[in-house]
Amino acid sequence: MNGIHMKGGFLWGAASAAYQIEGAFDEDGKGWSIWDKFVRIPGKTFKGTNGNIAVDHYHRWKEDIALMAEMGLKAYRFSISWPRVLPEGSGVPNEKGIAFYSNIIDECLKNGITPMITLYHWDLPQALQDRYGGWESRQCADDFAAYAKLMFERFGDRVKHWITINEQNIFTKFGYVTAWHPPGKFNEKALWLQANHNVNLGHAKAVLAFHDIVPDGKIGVSFAYGPGYAFDCDPANVMACQDYNELENYWWLDVYCYGDYPKAGEAYYRKQGIMPDVSDEDRALLKAASKQLDFLGFNYYHSNVSEANPVDGATEFGHMNNSGEKGSDDVTGVPGLYKNPPNPYLRTTDWDWAIDPVGLTYACRVLTSRYHLPLVISENGLGAFDTLEDGRVHDSYRIGYLREHIEAIETAQEQGCNILAYCVWSFTDLLSWLNGYQKRYGLVYVDREEEEGGSLKRYKKDSFYWYRQVIQSNGSVL
């Protein structure tokens, strides 16, 4: 099949996150993260799975990067575990932790792989949660900025692509509204908005520090973007979609790119009495940082449908399919505003996520028109059950998913979007935060189940060989 030609220098990548791959949760001086504690609370994760060992990347990083090199990967997006490099969250760095990432960077560069670092992929040092409530305190923004500066100073000579925060919309809401993530607080909406504002300040401070330390580098964010479609042309549903986009997407994107909260969102939260304190100084800071953002990164898995939702309608607290039992997801929403029913036109994964490649073109188009920034697709992939047969995994379903989504970025590129990179989630199989090890995303299979004890051996899936050819042909063979 004839595929696409991406621009020269296009970064064909794959991604991971520290907690989901590293393991070695208390080795070589690493401090605990909030996830190390949270997974130990019974009932919080699928079958009690945790990242104590994960896929043991901490000890197998060389083998993993050799596989990346064999694939011809152009970029590897990974995250730094903040408590591995600063066990107390601030203060004295852990040189062994820093050496671990330094070695990974060198090994990538040696193999022609561009390293792309995410500073925060959810594993806040537990020490900061204990000290002052983590992101609930404005101090956390300063500590995050100090940690970011330390990383820019240590790695900025070699790493030119940086992402401050991964999916702020997910970890703040799950941490303070649904209690699905640490710190596991339920329906604390005022606290959620305040913590979220503090993350914005941390992001802004890091961005503002960046270019002085890494003058030839680029910095952006990774947002979990689920573009909203109105259920139909009933004005009530179109308005619900507007509310959805404003409160679930632009609430973050406008801050990153304009340095401002969307007006209708602010009005809504003010009316509810939960709009956080935003000083003039904060606004100036956010504005200044927005002008320094080099690219807008987003993770795309699916679009969402929006439909009007009565005041006694669907809530945020519906059941989420964490088991792979198709059809077990509840419709969720914000009472009085919108709810997100399934899209009757789309297929879904076993975890009830809509499969919508057109939505990726749509996402690129919306972001380009609204923000005029280069885009990085920092995650995209298919979570599925895989079976290892005679050392191979025949994941034609994953190849099909990736092919359609890569075609969708070509369309977006043809239509004027400037796309710098595309990262498959994920390079190896890894721990899915709430779904255990059975929801697999990797191009490389790892022998482990929910229970500890697998061999942790790596096997190349069919998608590994397929993506290698996509990269070699710069997208023309799909």
Q: Which residues are catalytic?
A: 167, 379
- Beta-sheet pairing, 11-15 with 419-425: parallel
Alpha helices in 351-461 (DSSP H): 357-371, 396-414
Nearer to ligand BGP, 120 or 268 (CB): 120
Asked if 333 is part of the footprint of ligand BGP (rule: CB under 6 A), the reply reads no
- The answer to whether 116 and 80 are in contact (CB under 8 A) is no
Nearer to ligand BGP, 6 or 430 (CB): 430
Binding test (CB under 6 A) with ligand BGP, winner from 76, 147, 251, 433: 433
Tell the smallest beta-carbon distance from residue 315 to ligand BGP (Å).
Answer: 20
Tell the smallest beta-carbon distance from residue 157 to ligand BGP (Å).
Answer: 27
Site pattern 141..170 for ligand BGP (x: CB under 6 A): -------------------------xx--x
Given its phi and psi angles, is residue 453 left (phi above 0), alpha (psi -120 to 50 degrees) or beta? left
Tell the smallest beta-carbon distance from residue 332 to ligand BGP (Å).
Answer: 15
Site pattern 167..206 for ligand BGP (x: CB under 6 A): x--x------------------------------------
C-alpha distances in angstroms, 203 versus 27, 196, 279? Answer: 28, 11, 16
- Beta-sheet pairing, 218-224 with 161-166: parallel
Closest CA to 205 of 83, 137, 292: 292
- Beta-sheet pairing, 375-380 with 304-308: unpaired
What is the H or E stretch that residue 397 is in?
helix 396-414
Sites for ligand BGP among residues 70-109 (CB under 6 A):
none
- The answer to whether 453 and 46 are in contact (CB under 8 A) is no
Tell the smallest beta-carbon distance from residue 145 to ligand BGP (Å).
Answer: 22
Asked if 355 is part of the footprint of ligand BGP (rule: CB under 6 A), the reply reads no
Site pattern 294..313 for ligand BGP (x: CB under 6 A): -----x--------------
Cis peptide before 463 (omega within 30 of 0): no
Binding test (CB under 6 A) with ligand BGP, winner from 432, 436, 442, 460: 432
Alpha helices in 177-326 (DSSP H): 189-213, 235-244, 251-258, 263-271, 280-290
Binding test (CB under 6 A) with ligand BGP, winner from 161, 439, 448, 460: 439
Structure tokens at 84: 């591995």
- The answer to whether 340 and 306 are in contact (CB under 8 A) is yes
Per DSSP, the three-state class of 376 is: strand
Q: Which of 35-43, 261-269, 304-312, 428-436 is the region at the interface with ligand BGP (rule: CB under 6 A)?
A: 428-436
Nearer to ligand BGP, 14 or 224 (CB): 224
Tell the smallest beta-carbon distance from residue 401 to ligand BGP (Å).
Answer: 13
Structure tokens at 208: 């503002």
Tell the smallest beta-carbon distance from residue 432 to ligand BGP (Å).
Answer: 3
Residues near ligand BGP (CB under 6 A) are: 17, 20, 166-167, 170, 224, 299, 379, 383, 425, 432-435, 439
